[in-house]
């Protein structure tokens, strides 16, 4: 690879780390960059290398959020633990479930998210009745986030962080900032589960992934600090921008 291609991948890894730390969706930056840099690279190897890169930045972002914001560990840790095997199972199933099955559904969900957040300007900014969420609902949220979204991240992936944030915000009545912190912890679990499977299948470019991981960490550190400094209103704006970008990218892949 020439210097321009290498620089492009490093910039993409940094950008992906920033996006992942704020609202998720960094894979839609880095995976296309990998496939453009290596036209003959199998998609599964691009996914595996992306997971190696992403898990480092996501871990750094999770630690940063945990140190500087209120993190409900009673939800985050069990959901993350469930996400590891669920994402691993999803990664094992990836080759047998065509991406064309997922794209229309995911596009519809993302459009619904954008409309919902746009029409409710206070959503994710004001906590309402956060202390009266029942134990049953909390358990359902943990199971859905860890098992359902975890499996999705392993088998397909785009928008995982966004779906986690929306789940925690809507069902646990949290601010976007608190939900983003929870999402990072669970996302570490999903990345670990999928990476384990991809690594066992020999679908990870370790040297390249390690180099991009350093840039991803830098981007994730900056993204987490920016989100903490700017608050839920900033996360809401970035979420809408990223959701719009994901819909455009998925539509392009579906209909090209």
What is the structure's pLDDT at 141? Answer: 95
Per residue in 117-175, pLDDT (tens digit) is: 888 777 767 655 555 678 899 999 999 999 999 999 998 877 788 889 999 998 998 88
- Arithmetic mean of pLDDT over the chain: 87
d(CA 16, CA 212): 10
Q: Which of 57-61, 69-73, 121-125 has the highest mean pLDDT?
A: 57-61
pLDDT in tens, 194-252: 999 999 999 999 999 999 999 999 999 999 999 999 888 888 888 888 888 888 887 88
Closest CA to 65 of 220, 169, 189: 220
Contact assessment for residue 20 and residue 159, using Cβ atoms and an 8 Å cutoff: no
DSSP 146: I
Closest CA to 106 of 242, 247, 238: 247
Q: What is the rounded distance in angstroms from the CA atom of residue 193 to the CA atom of residue 151? A: 9
With tokens 């954008």, the residue in question is 114
Using a pLDDT cut of 70, give the percent of the chain over it: 92
Residue 85 has pLDDT above 90, yes or no: yes
Burial of 58 (0-12, 13-18, 19+ CB in 10 A): buried
Which two tokens mark 210? 């390690």
Nearest to 183 by CA among 239, 122, 127, 135: 239
Beta strands in 54-193 (DSSP E): none
Task: Go through 194-223 and write b for each residue having 16 or more CB atoms within 10 A of its CB, e for each that does not.
Answer: bbbbbeeeebbbeebbebbbebbbbbbbbb
pLDDT, position 126: 60
The pLDDT, as a whole number, for residue 148 is 95
Cα dihedral 11, 12, 18, 21 sign: negative
What pLDDT does 2 receive?
65
């Amino acid at each position: 690879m020439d210097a321009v291609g290498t620089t492009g991948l490093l910039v993409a890894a940094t950008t992906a780390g920033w996006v992942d730390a704020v609202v998720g969706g960094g894979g839609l930056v880095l995976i296309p960059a990998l496939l453009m840099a290596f036209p003959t690279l199998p998609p599964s190897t691009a996914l595996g290398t992306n997971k190696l890169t992403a898990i480092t930045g996501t871990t750094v972002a999770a630690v940063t959020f945990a140190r500087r914001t209120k993190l409900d560990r009673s939800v985050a840790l069990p959901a993350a633990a469930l996400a590891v095997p669920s994402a691993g199972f999803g990664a094992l199933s990836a080759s047998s479930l065509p991406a064309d099955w997922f794209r229309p559904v995911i596009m519809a969900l993302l459009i619904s998210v954008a409309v919902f957040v746009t029409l409710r300007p206070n959503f994710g900014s004001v906590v309402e009745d956060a202390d009266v969420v029942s134990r049953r609902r909390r358990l359902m949220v943990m199971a859905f986030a860890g098992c359902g979204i975890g499996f999705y991240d392993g088998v397909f992936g785009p928008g995982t962080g966004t779906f986690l944030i929306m789940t925690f915000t809507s069902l646990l009545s949290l601010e976007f900032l608190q939900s983003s912190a929870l999402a990072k912890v669970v996302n570490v679990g999903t990345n670990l589960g999928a990476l384990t499977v991809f690594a066992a299948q020999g679908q990870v470019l370790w040297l390249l992934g390690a180099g991009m991981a350093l840039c991803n960490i830098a981007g994730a550190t900056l993204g987490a600090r920016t989100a903490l400094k700017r608050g839920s209103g900033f996360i809401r704006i970035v979420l809408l921008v990223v959701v719009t970008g994901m819909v455009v990218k998925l539509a392009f892949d579906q209909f090209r």
